[in-house]
Amino acid sequence: MKRKGIYNTELSHIVAKMGHGDMILIGDVGCPFPRHELTTCIDLAVTENIPVVNDVLRVVLEELEIEEYIVSEETKEISPNTYAQFKKTIDSFDNKGNALVEKVIPHANMKDLWLNGSLRGDEVKAFVRTGERTPYSYIILVAGVNF
């Protein structure tokens, strides 16, 4: 049995396969899944707010080195507590690679990125749905390097 880290086999597999520049979205229960085979969809939602995005974010960051994260303007404006939780979680990890970049884009652009990005060559490798029921609770992590 695995001692720690990501127990979900699909999520563990995706994180292990991620390379520099690959993206993973962790989103709330209302986020629609991409309708193509280029992005792996993982549904972790059990019930209302189980798990929440920040819990999954924390576990993923224990295993994944990132260089950038993307949030929507609406996350910052409409769900500022969620944004603050994301920042606190991300800031609690020691980034080994380049300086960490925060990118803020409109919700419509964010949604287009996770739904259609892989079709255009953006490497949105995985979409992870949680049970989170807070509006605009989603974040995209961009994999970095640990050297």
Instruction: List active site positions.
Output: 20
Distance CA 41, CA 60 (A): 15
Per-residue CA distances from 93 to 5, 15, 65, 69 (Å): 15, 16, 9, 13
Q: Where are the beta strands (DSSP E) in 48-137?
A: 66-72, 101-105, 124-129
**Local structure of residue 97 (DSSP, 8 states):** S
Under DSSP, is residue 141 helix (H, G, I), strand (E, B) or coil? strand
